[in-house]
Structures are given as structure tokens and as C-alpha cells.
Amino acid sequence: MIVELGHFTLILAFAVSIFQTVVPLVGAHKGWPEWMAAAAPAASAQFLLTAVSFGALTFAFVTSDFSVALVTANSHTLKPLLYKITGVWGNHEGSLLLWVLILTLFGAMAAWFGGNLPPRLRARVLGVQSSIGVAFFAFILFTSNPFLRLESPPMNGGDLNPLLQDPGLAFHPPFLYLGYVGLSMAFSFAVAALLEGRVDAAWGRWVRPWTLAAWLFLTIGIGLGSWWAYYELGWGGFWFWDPVENASFMPWLISAALLHSAIVVEKREALKSWTILLAILAFGFSLIGTFIVRSGVITSVHAFANDPERGVFILFILAFFMGGAFLLFALRAGAMEAKGVFGIVSRESALVLNNVLLAVSCFVVFIGTIWPLLSEMFFDRTLSVGPPFFNAAFSPFVFVLAVALPIGSVMPWKRASIGRAMRQQLPAAVLAVAGGLLAYAVFTGHSAIGPVFIALAVWLVAGAVVDLFTRTGRGALGARLSRLTRLPRADWGKAVAHAGFGLTLFGVAALTTYESEDIRIARLGEAFDVGPYEITLTAVREHEGPNYIALMGTVEVARDGDLVSTLHPERRFYPVAGMPTTEAAIDNGVSRDVYVVLGEPQQGGFALRTYIKPWANWIWGGSIIMALGGLLSLSDRRYRVAAGARRQAEPKGVPAE
């Protein structure tokens, strides 16, 4: 019954989305206020209906209703509750439902917080947003219905893929989708602006928080995914340039470019048509990502739902929205003349450089990802494009970006001097060189690329500190420090995000250059050295989990005779899915991870792999700090001014909080 209710509300949401596409857009075109005003309540209704539908599916999973085909295929009564819930989106149909839930959530938020938008723009934004909903509701209902029943329900289900039975599944996809789908708002604003035929500073101010929110969710989502792939074996480590990883990275790069160019629109009324183009592209790459993950056209370690027919449907959606938006862009972009003028050396031009580098690096990732496909189609060469290509082709862009960033970040608007900016960043440069030399001296005998990128990382972090400090103006140190606390949150956000980028770069450089590995047959009780650590496999015993059985090793990690940590790597077997998995055990640390993997029993011992992964956690720590910077920037006063002004206009009578 509840399942049918979910199915029904999904169909209703589909109907509402059609209404919300047609009525406000017609209203905006004709100038009918009532028709335009219909958009906001429709957006709320659409979200609530989809939420009920999602709740119904979750209910079916939690209660293990095996009359639902999807539950049978992806769940089992013995599965822990957490994985019953996360199993809702651990499959194609359910994850799409989560996708539209977030899509309608963003639409509803635009309706709730968009009170300060001009009514016509607001109606158009909500109409366009809803048209995306129409496409995806149709996709779900006609090709991937999660509510299909089985005629004769089995006693139990087939269990979720054991690799997905991990807390990572609880957080990684929702954040990633918040990012992917959040970019639909930027797209809707861009198309609405094209329909309006004008883009001004106010548009820049409205679109930027949405982009910032999408970007920060994407940052967290990718960071979590990278962390998950790091500790889950068989997924190629923290970053593997796998097509699915690239699919999330491309919108991230474009949205990073977009949120920088939107600053130029907001502050200087320039780069308008370019910003519109980026907003369209960012969502385009989100759709391409959806296509890559679900079509099975490109092989990946992370794809779990592969169906070419569904791929074709997504391809049509992609072609429709991108084709329509680009056509509109070609017709209307010419009307958007820039107003602000600026010198060749200025913050504007630094942001243009940022955009060129980010957009071209995204293009490199894109062509590398689809090259196997193109090559087979047009040149009849079946080949692979793997990490060696991406490392070689992508790193130069990171290098240039990292070199230029601290200098560009201290440049003033309109007119700047490279010499002056470099003088301001001199302390950061000195620290960077010192950091690079230190890395070179401590780790002799490794590739020279490591120290170079470590120097760049120091340059970025120190450069962010300098940037923040120069914002305090002149005067005594004490006065400047006290002014530091009163700087706008946007300034803090910028510095924190840039420093986070530096920390991530540091983690990546240190891990990839200085990782050490040991593979051997370990006999019980026999100690051996890996780097500065003494490793002992003390016991291997059987262990029973809720829905698996395992061999669990006990590994003692000691340093200079003191026990640092006791680790328990496992080899699990999931009887229902009939699948074995290997669970690494990790001792997390600030400056290194000790990473232990238990292997086969052989020759009177067990195969044991030990890795020392230096500074690994900084990769994800940096991502979180980047996202934190985005959050700080998002909480800046200027985005709340309009909301505050509206609140004041309301009749008083309730005391302030």
C-alpha cells in the first residue's frame, strides 16, 4: 500500500513538474502575474510529493518488502539497518529517485529563498528547473521505475553488493548528488537570463550562492569518494582517473571556474556571456557524468548500473538541454555587453586566467575520458587512456594554476601591477622555496616532482595567509590583527578555500612521491621492519559479522619498541552475495597512515601487505577545508542583506531572537 502511495506521488510529482514548466514560462512571456506566481507553490508541492515517494521506497527497504523487485535485488533481512537505508540509493533506480529528490529540493529552495528575485526571473528560473524535472521523472517512470512489484515475492533478497556495504555509501552519493544537481540551479538561472535577455550584477549575486553551494557539496562528495576508494581495495586508490571519477571532477572544475567568473559579473559587470556559457557547461558535465555512470559505454571500476538503453535516454536528455541552451545562447549572448573596463593586468584578468586554466584542464580530462570511445569509432583503434596520460597531461595545468593563484589573489580590481603583487607575496615565496628544499633534503633519492609540488603547496597556503593579511590595510600589527576578525566572511572564505587547495596538493604530492610498500609472507609472531615501524602479525582468527564471516588478523605496529597501534585487517566472505572482500586496516595519523592488508595463507604464514602512506589524510582534510571556505563565503553578509531587508518589512510584534 505504502509502495503504491510512493508510486502514485511520483506520478503526481511528474504531473506537477509539467504544470510548473508550462504555466510560469508562459506567464513570464505574456506578463501574467498570476501565472508566474504559480511557480513557487508548485515547486514546494513537487518537492513534497517526491519526498513522500522517496520515503515510501525507504520504507520498503527498511521493512524488507521483498514484493518490490528493487528491494529483492538489493537487500536482505540480515543486512544492518544502516545498509538497508543506504541501499535505497545503492542501485540505479533508487539513486535516480535521490537525484530527482535533490533536484526538486533545489527548486523548492529557489522558491522559498528567491523572494528577492524579480517575479519574472523567478518564474523563469523555476520553470526551467522544473523542465529538468520533467525529463528525469519521465526517465524514472518509463525506464527505471523503482516501485515495480514482483508477482511471487521470494523469502529473502539478493543482498547489496558487499563493496557498497560501507558507511561511505551513506554520505558519498548524497553529497555528490547535491553537487551535481545543485548545478542545475546555475543552469536554470543561465537559461532564465538568456530568456530575459539581460545579465547584470544582481544576476551575478543571485547565481553565485547556488554555484558556491553546488561546488562545496561537490567538493565534499568527491573528497568522501576519494577517501572511500582509498580504504576500499580494488578501486585503484585515492584517485585513479577512472571515467566515473573524472565524471565528477569535470563539473567540479567547471563550477570552480564559474564561481570565479560570477564574481567578475557581480563586482565588475564583465565576462557575462562567458559566465552564462560556464553555467550551461557545468550542468552539461553533470549530465555527461550521469550518462557515463549509468550507460556502461565506458568501462569503470565504479559503475554498478549498466544499461545502454537507459544511456540512450540520458543522451537524449543531454542533447535536448544542451542543444536548447546553446541555441538560446547563440541567439541571445550577443546582447550582453560588458560594462566594466579593466587593464590587461588586473584582478579581472587574473580571474580570466583562472577560468582559462580550469576550463582547459577540464577539457583535457574530458577528451582523455572519451578518447577510447572516439578512437574506436573514428580510427578503429581499441585503446585505453589511464592514469599515466592524465598525470602527464593534467599536472602542468595544476602547476601553472598554483603558481599564478597567490599572485592573482592579491591583485586589485581594474588595474594592478605584477611586480607589486609579487613583492607582497615575497614572504610566501621564501617559505615555499624553504619547504621544497626541506622536502628534497629529507627524502633524498625520490623523484624531483615531489619537492616542486610541495613547494607549490606551501606557496598556496602561505599565499592565502598573506592575502588575508594584506586585506587588513596598513598600520600597527595589533590594529591589523584586530581588523582581521572584522573582514568580510567572503575574504575569509577565499583564503581558507585557497589554503585548502594547497593542503590537498600537499597531500597528493607527498603520498604519490613518498609512499613505501612492503609485500611478504608474514609468519605468526615474527616481526619485520617497514620504514621506521616494526610490524608483527600476532594472530589470525575467525570472526563472524552480521551478514558475513571473516578471517581477521591482528597486526601490531610498533615504533622504537613502543606499540603504536593494533590493527585488524580482514578477509570477508558474504554468503548471500557469494562474494569475498578484503578490508584493509589503517592506523590514521597526521603525518602518515599505516595501511595493512591481509592476504592468502601460504607457506606457513600469511601474505601481508604493509604500506606507509605519508600525509595521506591531508588530501581529504584539504578538501574539507576547501568546502569550509565555500561555506564561509556563502555566509557572507551580502547574500543575506536582501533577506534581512525583507524581514524588516514584515509587521513587527515578535521579539528578535
Partner 1 sequence: MKRLLLILCLLASPLWAVEPDEMLADPVLEERARDISAGLRCVVCRNESIDESNADLARDLRLLVRERLVEGDSDDEVVDYIVERYGEYVLLRPTLTGSNLVLWLAGPGMALIGLGLAFGYLRSQSRRKAEGEAAPTGLSDAEQARLRQIMED
Which residue in the set 149, 339, 423, 637 belongs to the binding site for partner 1 (CB under 8 A)?
A: 339
Cα 409 to Cα 358, 470, 471, 530: the distances in Å are 16, 11, 11, 43
Q: Which is nearer to partner 1, 51 or 301 (CB)?
A: 301
Q: Quick one: cell of 313?
A: 535516454
The only residue of 261, 300, 504, 547 in contact with partner 1, by rule CB under 8 A: 300
Which one of residues 87, 119, 133, 368 is an interface residue with partner 1 (CB under 8 A)? 368
Question: Interface with partner 1 by CB under 8 A: which range of 209-217, 358-366, 421-429, 489-497?
Answer: 358-366
Among the candidate windows 137-145, 206-214, 360-368, 649-657, which touches partner 1 by CB under 8 A?
360-368
Alpha helices in 296-425 (DSSP H): 308-332, 347-378, 387-409, 418-424
For 558, the enclosing helix (H) or strand (E) is strand 549-559
What is the rounded distance in angstroms from the CA atom of residue 470 to the CA atom of residue 195?
41
Please identify which residue in 337, 525, 588, 641 interacts with partner 1, judged by CB under 8 A.
337
CB of 596 to partner 1, least distance (A): 13
Question: Least distance from C-beta 183 to partner 1, angstroms?
Answer: 22
Least gap, CB of 366 to partner 1 (angstroms): 9
User: Is 352 in a helix, a strand, or coil?
Assistant: helix
Q: In this complex, which beta carbon is closest to partner 1, that of residue 550 or of residue 627?
A: 550
The conformation of residue 68, written as its DSSP 8-state character, comes to B
Q: Report, in Å, the least distance between residue 356 CB and partner 1.
A: 4
Residue 433: how many other CB atoms lie within 10 Å: 13
341 contributes a contact to partner 1 by CB under 8 A: yes
Q: In whole angstroms, give the CA distance from residue 440 to residue 451.
A: 6
Judged by CB under 8 A, how many residues of this single chain contact partner 1? 76
Across the strands, what pairs with 156? none
Among residues 1, 155, 344, 656, the one that binds partner 1 under rule CB under 8 A: 344
Q: Which of residues 160-219 bind partner 1 (CB under 8 A)?
A: 198, 200
> Binders of partner 1 among 542-561, rule CB under 8 A?
542, 544, 549, 551
Of residues 442 through 471, those in contact with partner 1 by CB under 8 A are: none
397 lies in the site for partner 1, by CB under 8 A:
yes
Least separation in angstroms between residue 269's CB and partner 1 is: 8
Q: What minimum distance in Å lies between the beta carbon of 376 and partner 1?
A: 10
Q: Which range binds partner 1 by CB under 8 A, 2-10, 87-95, 275-283, 382-390?
A: 382-390
Please say whether the beta carbons of 347 and 420 come within 8 A.
Answer: no
SS3 letters across 400-441: HHHHHHHHHHCCCCCCCCHHHHHHHCHHHHHHHHHHHHHHHH
- Closest-CA residue to 271 (of 185, 340, 363): 340
d(CA 632, CA 492): 7
The H-or-E segment that residue 551 falls in is strand 549-559
Residue 519, strand partner residues: 609
227/238 Cα distance (integer angstroms)? 6
Which one of 257-265, 503-511, 517-525, 640-648 is the stretch in contact with partner 1 (CB under 8 A)?
Answer: 517-525
Are the C-beta atoms of 279 and 186 separated by less than 8 Å? yes
Told to check if 233 binds partner 1 by CB under 8 A, we report: yes
Q: Which of residues 600-619 bind partner 1 (CB under 8 A)?
A: 600-603, 607, 609
Our CB check for partner 1 shows the closer of 320 and 573 to be: 573
303 binds partner 1 (CB under 8 A): yes
Shortest reach from residue 363's CB to partner 1, in Å: 5
Please say which residue, 122 or 572, places its beta carbon nearer to partner 1. 572
- Centre a 10 Å sphere on the Cβ of residue 161 and count the other Cβ atoms it contains: 17
Minimum distance of partner 1 from residue 382's CB (angstroms): 5
Contact 409, 352 (CB under 8 A): no
| CB-based contact 218:204 (threshold 8 Å) | no
Distance of CA 381 to the CA centre of its chain: 33
Asked if 267 interacts with partner 1 (CB under 8 A), we say: no
Binder among 166, 242, 556, 636 for partner 1 (CB under 8 A): 242
Q: What percent of the chain is helix, strand and coil (3-state, nearest 5)?
A: 65, 10, 25
- In the complex, what is the shortest distance from the CB of residue 284 to partner 1, in angstroms, rounded to a whole number? 17
**Closest CB 251 distance from partner 1, rounded Å:** 18
Q: Distance between alpha carbon 655 and the CA centroid of its chain, in Å?
A: 40
User: Does residue 64 bind partner 1 (CB under 8 A)?
Assistant: no
φ/ψ of residue 517, rounded to 5: -140, 145
Return the number of the residue (149 or 646) whose C-beta is nearest partner 1. Answer: 646
CA 623 from centroid of its chain's CA atoms = 10
Residue 566's φ and ψ, nearest 5 degrees, are -115, 120
Residue 115: other Cβ atoms inside 10 A: 12
User: In the set 82, 367, 433, 527, which binds partner 1 (CB under 8 A)?
Assistant: 367
SS3 637: helix
Nearer CB in complex with partner 1: 468/550: 550
Sole window of 26-34, 122-130, 234-242, 284-292 interacting with partner 1 (rule: CB under 8 A): 234-242
For partner 1, which is the closer residue by CB, 16 or 608? 608
Farthest-apart Cα atoms in the chain, separation? 82
User: Which one of the spans 141-149, 452-460, 578-586, 649-657 is the region binding partner 1 (CB under 8 A)?
Assistant: 578-586
Question: Please, what is the minimum distance in Å from the beta carbon of residue 160 to partner 1?
Answer: 18
DSSP secondary structure code for residue 524 in this structure: T
**Site for partner 1 contains 383 (CB under 8 A):** yes
CB 357, min distance to partner 1, A: 8
Selected range binding partner 1 among 159-167, 188-196, 573-581, 627-635, rule: CB under 8 A = 573-581
- Whether 439 contacts 454, CB under 8 Å: yes
